[in-house]
Amino acid sequence: MQQIIFLFFLTLRLFLSASDTFSVSLDTETPLDPIYVTPIEGSAFDQKYSEELIRILSYDLNHNGRSVTVRSSEKALYIIKWSVQSKTIQPTLYVVHERKSKKIDSFTFTGKINQDRRLIHQIADTLFKSIYGTEGVASTTILYTVREKNQDPVFKSEYLSEVWQCDFDGHNPRQVTHEGRYIVTPCYVPAKKGFRPGSFLFVSYKLGQPKIYLGSLEDGSSHQLLSLRGNQFMPAITRSKADIAFICDAMGNPDLFIVPYNDDLGVGKPRQIFASPRGTQGSPCFSPDGRQIAFVSNKDGNTRVYMMDIPSPHILLKEMSPRLISRACRESTSPSWSPDGRKIAYAGLIAGTRQIFVYDRDSQTEEQITTDKSNKENPCFAADSFHIVFNADQSGGKAQLAVVNLKQKETVLISEGNTDKRFPSAEPLVK
């Protein structure tokens, strides 16, 4: 019973505590590249609308960790100019030191800012790839939950929560599920190469017990994924979609399981891959190649992050010996493996505050990424292995979505309001 209570604590206590809005800026190791963005002139839209497009682009350029917008072209390494024909706008990237220019694909805008800001995000990512040669994340999305007080007397719960989705800058929020129940820990199911995700995993208490469901991003419909008995928590899926990891107490203790998965055939037979009679496991996440797994356990007393190879079916549970990776903190939770496989982010308790840490697999060292006095939980690496999204407690006991990149180390809130936003999941990109 103590283990089950502890696992519920791991999952549900993330909705508590408070702090003020914050922004932490640290000096960067290398200077950011200055970019000058010229005004959009001569379009079919009014000046206020054109200025809003520039503001959105400037946000993306200022938070990609590599560049910063400047007010004068004299100080710029890059200049962005615009060719305008009615509602069609084409950016041109001018590289000052090379005296070369490159035209970017043109876009036809609608005049509706919530639609057109997605086009601006695409432009930001195209510019980023043109300059730095790697994919940006400005046009990706984030899944998360929104929790509110329960007004439905039929459902015996103090709170209800639903899955929402927003742009990477926090705008364009839309509700995905409409179940009127309690939902936690959504995560994207990776799509085929060249496509955006169309489904996601989540845990719902609609049946009383927590169970894992597969949901549709298109219409919010869902179905229960496993018929396994017991409580099920914290699903994670491999990039190849071959396996799903989760926590379940079907054997009497909340332990680590994996199950084969296929889009057409569904799930196979679940297999227990780690158990600890004196501890509780939680928050599994796969390495990008699906061969290793990181997870949380209190098997040795404190809650820490461990990693191990996925065992073959003939390996006995007692032979498994996961390696401790979070040594800097007394208590660590919610690991997230970077898509490039080199780092693992987690939330760790230090000096009474939960901060975001990153474990570097090459150097086998840990780095504290955030430093202010607001509790932070549920880090998730973005597709670029450079940005991390998480939820940060704010005044009034409400958590908001936040993002940080590993170079600037500036925590930026991307949501606001009086609803509690938790469990962000950054959209994966299959290259």
- Is this structure's pTM higher than 0.85? yes
CA–CA dist 133, 127 (Å, integer): 9
132-156 residue pLDDT tens = 999 999 999 999 999 998 888 777 7
Phi, psi dihedral angles at 336 (to 5 degrees): -140, 125
Q: How far apart are CA 411 and CA 318, in angstroms?
A: 42
> Residue ranges of the domains in the chain?
2-25+140-426, 33-132
pLDDT tens, position by position, 180-228: 999 999 999 999 888 899 999 999 999 989 999 999 999 999 999 998 9
Q: How confident is the model at residue 431 (pLDDT cuts 50, 70, 90)?
A: low
Single-letter amino acid, residue 384: D
CATH homologous superfamily of 33-132: TolB, N-terminal domain (3.40.50.10070)
DSSP state letter for 39: -
Angle between helices 113-132 and 47-62 (to 10 degrees): 40
For residue 277, the model assigns a pLDDT of: 82
How far is the C-alpha of 339 from the C-alpha of 382, rounded, in Å?
8
User: Each residue of 294-329: pLDDT tens digit?
Assistant: 999 999 889 999 999 999 888 877 778 899 999 998
Whether pLDDT at 40 is above 80: yes
Q: What is the pLDDT of residues 359-400, one digit of tens each?
A: 999 999 999 999 988 999 999 999 999 999 999 999 777 999
- Under 8 Å CB-to-CB from 13, ≥6 apart: which residues? none
Q: How sure is the predictor about 349, in pLDDT bands with cuts at 50, 70 and 90? A: very high
Tell me the pLDDT tens digit for each residue of 99-128: 999 999 999 999 999 899 999 999 999 999
- For the chain, what is the mean pLDDT? 90
| Per-residue exposure over 153-185, b if at least 16 CB sit within 10 Å of its own CB, e if not | eebeeeebbbbbbbbbbbbbbeebbebebbbbb
User: Does residue 26 have a pLDDT over 70?
Assistant: no
Q: What is the CATH number of domain 2-25+140-426?
A: 2.120.10.30
Q: Which residue has the tokens 């706008």?
A: 89
CA-based angle 354:356:361, to the nearest 5? 135
